[in-house]
Chains A and B, each alone.
Chain A
Amino acid sequence: MRLALKHPGAALGIAFLAVVLLASFVAPLILPLDPLAQDFTATLDPPSAAHWFGTDELGRDILARVIAGARTSLTTAAGAVLIAGCIGVPIGLVAGFFGGWRDAVLMRLVDVLLALPGILFAMALIAVIGRSQMAALVAVGITGIPGFARITRAQVLALRRLDFVLAVEAMGGSASYSMFRTVLPNAWSPILVQVVILTSVAILLEAALAFLGVGIPPPAPSWGDMLRTGKQYLYEAPTYAVLPGLVLTLTILSLDTIGRTLARVLEDRQGAHLATLDEPA
């Protein structure tokens, strides 16, 4: 509570995300919202009491589609971050811990991934494996690998020189013991920040792919795809593209604010004992 008062931005972000999560996973169970129900007598209606966000070109309720889209968007982003973390963290761990040729080879591979803007890489990959939710998830996930690898590597490099890690080594602890039981547990906090920030990037990237028409294929509702269709009816129904975009933007901003606040809080908390790290040994 005290933290919430100190960081009102992050608190607002958490509140908004809670509403989105609640709406997307609980609301469909109690409310009569059907994102696929068509009504050709009410197409492209402006927002009203019956349809808070209006209706789309097939008379489907836009709010219901935004809520269903949240589910697609959030699960895709979560899956993508999971993939990125499960590959990126071990890469950074091994590269930072062992150094030498392992470091050179692994980080060069990461550099290749970084050499292309993420969205281009994702598009090229989807061009090969075809459009599906899995394809979007994997493509977005792979673009997140460099972020995790670099953060983990930097953290491991800093920890590696510390007395308690050297002590484990001196007492004959194996490399894997030292790596997984000593270094990794102390490297979590920046990785956690990366998880939050990357989730917002993943949501944005997934929406961008859908907007370009290479994301999750319709009729599954997705925020990016709604913006893509809404853009064709800017004159007839301006709110069609504006409202789903607003929810998307607020979600991204919420995650970004939470991530940056988290980073600052962890920095302050660790400041005392991390400050001594930077002094040359």
Chain B
Amino acid sequence: MIGFVLRRLAQMLPVLLLASLAIWAMVYAVPGSPVGALVGENATPEQIQATIARLGLDRPMLLQYWSWLHHALEGDFGLSIQNREPVVTLILQRIPATLQLGLSASAVGLALGVPVALASALRPRGWLDRMLSGWSALALGVPTFWLGILLILLFAVRLRWLPSVSAYVPVMDDPAGALRNTLLPALTLGVYVSGIFARFLRAALLGELRADYVRTARSKGLRERDVIGRHVLRNALLPFVTIVGLMTASFIGGAVVTEAVFTYPGLGRLLIQAIDARDYPLIQGCIMCILVIYIGINVLVDVLYAYIDPRIDYG
């Protein structure tokens, strides 16, 4: 088991190394000097000296990369150019907000996607199936930023039920406030991902329904509800776990657009602000952090999958 986890992590290492090389090389591709990109144009001579010393900007490139990576592994991405705070602190502040939105969006996606998939898989090619596959196409095709704007127009501008700008309110502190603030962005993301969930689970269910054991169960006279609930659904949910995990992972960083629509203070918005301000240490830190979380969840999902599916051994 531990060996399996380590092996999966080791497979991810080249990807992470290559990506980190690209992220590091970013500041060298920026027009102007890398020192300027790292400390900003208004830096004092002391700050410039400190950065040159910390990253050894006068040493060979490979050594510079090594020392940057070394610091990055310790969570040190340097100071933000905008307010001279450590990049790690800024990132850590945003993680709870991003997690709350990502998890609630996945919950909305499941609540919408699973019934849709069940309803359409039980009567494939029927009228309900056609309508619901239309829903999936719509959910995937409508840009999240337009859907978000429509929701704001309806619930905030017209009905005045919910705020048009979503703040981060921790669920633990104020459940009602958290609901008011997270509902619209979670709905926007959730509708989109429900399209993916529905398509995927429908295909998995149809695959299982054709299996021999379903015929056996039915011929034994099992009620249809038990055949579906106990056998088919269980087997179809297995591969589904992977896709749910992957989507949740991509919400961590991929919710950039939705966070922008609702001005929600998550990790994605931090990245946009960093890009706007040309705050390169913060850009590097955000992208590296999002990448590590994304790959980490990927590995976790693989492990979880192997754990719940007895047919997969850790070899």
- Residues on A lying within 8 angstroms of B by beta carbon are 108-109, 111-112, 115-117, 119-120, 123-124, 126-130, 200, 204, 207-208, 211-214, 224, 227, 230-231, 234-235, 238, 241-242, 245-246, 248-249, 252-253, 256-257, 260
Contacts and interface: CB of A to CB of B under 8 A. Distances in A.
A130 B276 CA distance: 11
Nearest to B287: A124
B153 A242 contact: yes
B142 interface: yes
Nearest to A111: B15
B137 A257 contact: yes
Contacts of B140: 256
B291 A227 contact: no
A252 B15 CA distance: 32
Contact of A245 (B149, B157, B290): B149
Contact of A117 (B150, B153, B253, B272): B253
A115 B153 contact: no
B260 A212 contact: yes
A235 B156 CA distance: 10
By secondary structure, the A interface counts as helix
Nearest to B137: A256
27 contacts: A115-B19, A115-B295, A116-B291, A116-B294, A117-B294, A120-B271, A123-B256, A123-B272, A124-B26, A127-B275, A127-B283, A130-B31, A204-B143, A207-B143, A208-B143, A211-B145, A213-B272, A227-B149, A230-B149, A231-B152, A234-B157, A235-B157, A242-B149, A248-B146, A252-B142, A253-B137, A253-B142
B170 to A, nearest CB: 26
Interface in B193-238: none
A208 B257 contact: yes
Given A115-B291, A234-B153, A128 B29 contact: yes
A38 B211 CA distance: 65
Contact of A231 (B23, B26, B261, B287): B261
B254 A119 contact: yes
B62 to A, nearest CB: 20
By secondary structure, the B interface counts as helix
Contacts of A260: 137
B149 to A, nearest CB: 5
Given A116-B294, A227-B146, 13 more contacts: A116-B19, A117-B250, A123-B271, A123-B275, A124-B283, A128-B30, A212-B257, A234-B164, A238-B157, A245-B146, A245-B150, A249-B143, A253-B138
Interface of B: 14-15, 18-19, 23, 26, 29-31, 137-138, 140-143, 145-146, 149-150, 152-153, 156-157, 164, 250, 253-254, 256-257, 260-261, 271-272, 275-276, 278, 280, 283, 287, 290-291, 294-295
Contacts of A112: 15, 18-19
Contacts of A119: 254, 256-257
B272 A234 contact: no
Contacts, number: 115
A248 B15 CA distance: 35
Contacts of B276: 213
B143 A252 contact: yes
Given A124-B287, A211-B257, A249 B142 contact: yes
Contacts of B261: 231
Contact of A115 (B15, B138, B145): B15
B94 to A, nearest CB: 15
B291 A238 contact: no
A193 to B, nearest CB: 15
Contacts of A126: 275
B65 to A, nearest CB: 16
Contacts of A253: 137-138, 141-142
Contacts of B14: 108
Nearest to B283: A127
A120 B253 CA distance: 8
Contacts of B280: 127
A227 B257 CA distance: 12
A243 to B, nearest CB: 11
A98 B222 CA distance: 52
B82 to A, nearest CB: 14
Contacts of B250: 117
B149 A234 contact: yes
A128 to B, nearest CB: 5
A119 B19 CA distance: 15
Contacts of A207: 143, 145
Contacts of A242: 149-150, 153
Which residue among B14, B18, B143, B153 has the maximum number of chain A CB atoms within 10 Å of its CB? B143
A213 B295 CA distance: 27
B152 A234 contact: yes
B149 A231 contact: yes
A123 to B, nearest CB: 6
Nearest to B23: A124
B256 A120 contact: yes
